[in-house]
Amino acid sequence: MAPKRQKECAGAVLQDVHARVCSLIEEFSPDTMAVESVFTALNMRTALCLAEVRGVILLAAAQHSVVVYSYAPREVKASVAGYGHASKRQMQLMIRALLSMNETPEPSDAADALAVALCHLQAEQVRRRFGLPDGNSTAKPRTLRAAISSTGLTNEIRLGSTTRGGLPRILSTR
């Protein structure tokens, strides 16, 4: 947005973002949108500005009945580059390679946007392939213990502690 527009009032830029996102939704009629979740940045002012813009994007999506999926920055990096702490440059090069682009996407924010889209496509493929519930679904997934007990194998499998990623560790007693 133009610097002059930014100085008019704090909400002017957000209004411009909202109008632009709405026009893009009307032009392309997406079924879903994928956005990056807000992360805690070293600069709190930057994090707050990002949160405000993200809120406006979510509002525009809701007004047009577009389902929104949110992915953490590390999840996007791990999905695309295979490493959750990949640098901006590594992400740009991976996007270029994965999409068979002739040039590296510039600015790095463009590569970030493409990475979020690729992350969502991959997550959606996994959900469909394995019949997993929709990430935005209101249905409660079955607990692991309930799933195991329904198989009749409760004596053969016991649940251990969780792994560092928070996933349950399954230990076989065989």
Domain locations in the chain as residue ranges: 3-133, 141-174
Residue indicated by tokens 């499998």: 157
Which structure tokens are listed for 39? 């992360």
Find how far residue 96's CA is from the centre of its chain.
Answer: 19
Q: Which CATH architecture has domain 3-133?
A: 2-Layer Sandwich (3.30)
Q: How many C-beta atoms surround the C-beta of residue 95 within 10 A?
A: 23
3-state secondary structure of 173: coil
Q: What is the pLDDT of residue 38?
A: 80
Instruction: Measure the CA–CA gap between 83 and 88, rounded to whole angstroms.
Output: 12
Q: What is the pLDDT of residue 39?
A: 72
Q: What is the pLDDT of residue 46?
A: 83
Which structure tokens are listed for 22? 């709405």
Q: How many C-beta atoms surround the C-beta of residue 20 within 10 A?
A: 14
Instruction: Measure the CA–CA gap between 46 and 161, rounded to whole angstroms.
Output: 38
Instruction: Measure the CA–CA gap between 80 and 143, rounded to whole angstroms.
Output: 29
pTM above 0.95, yes or no: no
Which structure tokens are listed for 29? 């009629």
Q: What is the pLDDT of residue 8?
A: 66
Q: What is the pLDDT of residue 6?
A: 58
Residue numbers in the chain where pLDDT is lower than 50: 137-145, 147-148, 153-163, 169, 171-174
Give the C-alpha distances (Å, rounded to integers) separating 18 from 10, 23, 57, 60.
Answer: 14, 9, 6, 6
Q: What is the pLDDT of residue 132?
A: 87
Q: What is the pLDDT of residue 166?
A: 53
